[in-house]
Amino acid sequence: MLFLVNDAYLLSDGDVLYACDYRWWRKHVDHVRSLSTGELWTQCKRSAREFGLKRVVGYKRPGLSTSTDEIHFGDNSGYQAINLAVNRGHKRIGLLGFNMGRSLPGDRSLFFWCIIHRNLSLAVMIATRVLSNISLNYR
């Protein structure tokens, strides 16, 4: 299963797209809907209501939530998406191009990741396909 976070929807169509904040959804929701066929998730009540997204309740607590109906924030969408995947029963998570931090204004970091089900070659294939279509800028 392929989970995408924030702008990663521009690179591939995943099974799940997760973004935590209203400002991001307000800016991207129409374009996301034109390109994506996967489930659209957020923790933001306003985004879920206004844009018809699936919502998971979130709390500012340490670690990952072990409850199947909540996540912990961890200060970024990627962390929250990992918690959502864990809550859905995924045990092996491969991260591709993910910095586990807050983005700075103007940062174009690549945020995407996938869940691997006994098939590491799937992650390699996805990474190869996606990375061959973009140029990376290192600072």
Least confident of 8-12, 14-18, 86-90: 8-12
Query: What pLDDT is stored for residue 37 in this prediction?
Result: 93
CA end-to-end span of the chain, whole Å?
31
Q: Is the pLDDT of residue 117 over 60?
A: no
Q: Estimate to the nearest angstrom the gap between the alpha carbon of 136 and the chain centroid.
A: 19
Q: Is residue 136 part of a domain?
A: no
Q: Is residue 119 part of a domain?
A: yes
Cα dihedral 36, 111, 67, 56, rounded to 10, equals: -40
Q: Is residue 67 part of a domain?
A: yes
Q: Is residue 138 part of a domain?
A: no
Query: What pLDDT is stored for residue 126 in this prediction?
Result: 55
Q: Is residue 139 part of a domain?
A: no
Query: What pLDDT is stored for residue 76 in this prediction?
Result: 85
Q: Is residue 8 part of a domain?
A: yes
Cβ atoms of 120 and 88 within 8 Å: the answer is no
Q: Is residue 100 part of a domain?
A: yes
26-65 pLDDT, tens per residue?
999 999 999 999 999 999 999 999 999 999 999 999 889 9
Residue 128: which pLDDT band, with cuts at 50, 70 and 90?
low
C-alpha to C-alpha distance for 8 and 74, rounded to whole angstroms:
19
Name the pTM for this structure. Answer: 0.74
Instruction: Determine the 3-state secondary structure of 45 from DSSP.
Output: helix
How many domains does the structure of the chain reveal?
Answer: 1
Say which residue, 88 or 101, is predicted with more confidence.
88
Residue 97 belongs to what domain range?
Answer: 2-131
Q: Is the pLDDT of residue 2 over 60?
A: yes
